């Protein structure tokens, strides 16, 4: 068994890598585990563009160094704070370079189990080795939290998949595919299916697919900047406040926090996708899915329209583009005894203002912390607040960590 490390970060996406850079800057003993930018490489479709603008798509360095703009300038990649979409490939390559420079205490191994052991935690890895850590930060993003409607549960894997299971869908070329959902996950997958020669159809219970408005090409007048301030989460005061005051959000009643996270910045697709969908991919709106079954070698989907009348669609395959929902039970590395000690609401961990769960020394960041700190934690730009705030807190424990 190796010597005890101070902080073990589980997950090497934007939050894990940013936190590692801040811990390194503070001289805090740590290790980060996972494949760098792994989810972005394997669970996001080829050709996807980020919804966030360039200025809101950087990882966080303690000195503010090496932003996405810096990387694009180095590589000769077109960049603008606003108006030039950021591709998934650019974001992934930027994250990998960030890891090489600032998060080099990374081990590309998977944590398979965490158990409490005295005042710390024992981590078991996929190669059978173990290590001890004084503090553990869970930074796995949304990779374990895929949500599929129960009505689709009867379909076999060859007939049903979640949008996160694919980054290339060329095996569905010439197939009719129904994509259930109306947010960015569903829209991005439908566009990718169309690009590889499939025949996708989008189905949503909403009255329409919501697309972000393209950024204004000219400088906005002062009165519009005051009424509709821009933030990394979008335009308007609700988004601005969500980015600026996550600690105030943390003080709000739990009912308010959960409702706001669910409703604010709801399902919507990036502005670059609109022309690739409307008039090109069939879209069915106002439909509630009621049943799914395989008949005559096809999936038959039964929906209910707004007036109560039934509607049926058939497909060779169904993709659930139905997003993600935090659920502690979905984290396979959390020991059952440890899980029972984590206080939660609707399977979302209850966190202190320092991201600490009810288990001392166990922290959650990213999407699993959104119900505590707001929708900011669902986006890459939330890594800035998280990394600075949490690394400062962990540095106060340096006497116990070092």
Q: DSSP labels for 112-171? A: EEEEEETTEEEEEETTS-EEEEEEEEE--TTTT-B---GGGTTS-TTTEEEGGG-S--GG
| Residue appearing with tokens 């998977």 | 110
> Which residues does residue 8 pair with via DSSP β-bridges, in sequence order?
31, 136
pLDDT (0 to 100) of residue 89: 96
Q: What is 278-304 written as a DSSP string?
A: TTTS-EE-S-EEEEEEEETTEEEEEEE
Residue 158 has pLDDT above 80, yes or no: yes
CA dist list (Å): 304 to 3, 281, 288, 294, 340:
59, 21, 5, 18, 39
Does the pLDDT value for residue 1 go beyond 70?
no
Q: What is the mean pLDDT of residues 179-189?
A: 94
Backbone φ and ψ of 55, nearest 5°: -65, -20
Q: Pick the more confident residue, 159 or 165.
A: 159
> For the sheet containing 317-320, what is the strand order?
160-162, 317-320, 176-180, 199-203, 283-284
CB 229: neighbour CB atoms within 10 A? 17
Mean pLDDT, residues 17-29 taken together: 96
Please answer whether residues 256 and 241 qualify as being in contact, where contact means their C-beta atoms are separated by less than 8 angstroms: no
How far is 233 from 188, CA to CA, in rounded Å? 19
Q: Is 271 in a helix, a strand, or coil? A: helix
Given a cut of 70, whether residue 79 has pLDDT beyond it is yes
Residue 378 neighbours by CB distance under 10 Å: 21
pLDDT reported for residue 371: 96
Banded model confidence at residue 76, pLDDT cuts 50, 70, 90: very high
Q: What is the pLDDT, as a whole number, of residue 140?
A: 96
- Whether the per-residue pLDDT at 271 is higher than 70: the answer is yes
- Residue that is written with structure tokens 């997950």 in the block: 11
Q: Is the pLDDT of residue 276 over 70?
A: yes
Mean pLDDT of the chain: 93
How far apart are alpha carbons 280 and 283 in whole angstroms? Answer: 9
Cβ neighbors of 58 (< 8 A, separation 6 or more) are: 67, 68, 69, 380, 381, 384
How many Å apart are CA 90 and CA 327, to the nearest integer?
Answer: 30
Backbone angle region of 314, left / alpha / beta, with phi > 0 → left and psi within -120 to 50 → alpha:
beta
| Sequence spans of domains, the chain | 5-145+324-401, 150-211+268-320
> Which pTM was predicted?
0.93
Looking at residue 332, the DSSP 8-state letter turns out to be: T
Give how far Cα 356 sits from Cα of 135, 258, 351, 390, Å. 10, 18, 5, 9
pLDDT above 90 covers a percentage of the chain that reads 87
Topology match between the domains 5-145+324-401 and 150-211+268-320: yes
Phi, psi of 34 (to 5 degrees): 135, 170
C-beta of residue 181 within 8 angstroms of C-beta of residue 322: yes
Tokens linked to 27: 């001289």
* Residue 389, H or E segment: helix 382-395
Q: Is the pLDDT of residue 138 over 60?
A: yes
Which of 2-6, 18-22, 386-390 is the least confident region? 2-6
Average pLDDT value for residue range 19-44: 95
CATH (one of 3.90.1300.10, 3.50.50.60, 2.30.180.10, 1.10.3720.10) for 150-211+268-320: 3.50.50.60
Question: How many CB atoms are located within 10 Å of the residue 362 CB?
Answer: 23
Q: For residue 83, give the nearest of 185, 254, 215 by alpha carbon.
A: 215
Which pLDDT score is estimated for 384?
A: 98
Tally of residues, the chain: 402
CA–CA gap between residue 377 and residue 357 (Å, rounded): 16
Q: Please tell me the distance from the alpha carbon of residue 325 to that of residue 114, in angstroms, as a whole number.
A: 22
| Structure token pair of residue 239 | 């988004």
Hey, what are 282's tokens? 């069939």
Q: Which of 252-266, 281-295, 341-355 has the lowest mean pLDDT?
A: 252-266
Please provide the distance, in angstroms rounded to a whole number, between the alpha carbons at the two ends of the chain.
18
What are the pLDDT digits (tens) for 82-118? 999 999 999 999 999 999 999 999 999 999 999 999 8
pLDDT tens profile 193-221: 999 999 999 999 999 999 988 887 778 88
Q: Return the pLDDT at 398.
A: 58
More confident residue, 17 or 207: 17
The CATH code that applies to domain 5-145+324-401 is 3.50.50.60
* pLDDT value of position 401: 45
Residue 399 has a pLDDT of: 40
């Amino acid at each position: 068994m190796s010597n005890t490390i101070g902080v073990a970060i589980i997950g090497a996406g934007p939050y894990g890598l940013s936190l590692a850079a801040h811990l390194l800057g503070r001289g805090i003993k740590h290790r980060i585990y996972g494949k760098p930018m792994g989810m972005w490489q394997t669970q996001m479709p080829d050709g996807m563009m980020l919804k966030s603008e360039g200025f809101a798509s950087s990882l966080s360095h303690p000195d503010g160094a090496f932003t996405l703009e810096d990387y694009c300038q180095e590589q000769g990649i077109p960049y603008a704070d606003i108006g030039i979409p950021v591709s998934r490939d650019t974001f992934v390559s930027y994250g990998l370079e960030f890891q090489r420079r600032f998060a080099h205490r990374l081990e590309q191994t998977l944590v398979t189990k965490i158990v409490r052991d005295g005042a710390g935690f024992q981590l078991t890895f996929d190669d059978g080795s173990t290590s001890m850590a004084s503090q553990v930060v869970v930074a796995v993003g949304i990779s374990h939290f895929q949500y599929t409607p129960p009505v689709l549960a009867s379909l076999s894997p060859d007939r049903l998949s979640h949008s996160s299971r694919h980054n290339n869908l060329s095996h569905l070329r010439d197939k009719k595919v129904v994509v259930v959902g109306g947010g960015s996950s569903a829209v991005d997958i439908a566009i990718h299916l169309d690009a590889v020669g499939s025949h996708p159809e989008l189905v949503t219970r909403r009255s329409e697919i919501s697309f972000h408005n393209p950024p204004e090409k000219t400088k906005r007048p002062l009165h519009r900047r005051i009424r509709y301030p821009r933030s990394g989460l979008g335009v308007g005061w609700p988004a601005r406040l969500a980015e600026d005051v996550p600690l105030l959000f943390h003080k709000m009643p739990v009912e308010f926090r959960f409702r706001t996270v669910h409703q604010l910045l709801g399902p919507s697709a990036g502005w670059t996708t609109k022309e690739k969908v409307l008039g090109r991919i069939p879209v069915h709106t106002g439909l509630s899915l009621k049943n799914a079954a395989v008949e005559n070698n096809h999936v038959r989907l039964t929906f209910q329209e707004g007036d109560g009348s039934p509607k049926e669609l058939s497909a060779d395959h169904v993709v659930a583009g139905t997003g993600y929902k935090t659920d502690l039970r979905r984290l396979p590395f959390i020991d059952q005894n440890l899980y029972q000690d984590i206080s939660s609401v609707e399977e979302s961990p209850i966190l202190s203002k320092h991201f600490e769960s009810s288990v001392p020394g166990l922290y959650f960041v990213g999407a699993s912390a959104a119900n505590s700190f707001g929708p900011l934690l669902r986006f890459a730009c939330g890594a800035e607040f998280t990394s600075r705030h949490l690394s400062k807190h962990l540095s106060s424990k340096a006497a116990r960590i070092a």
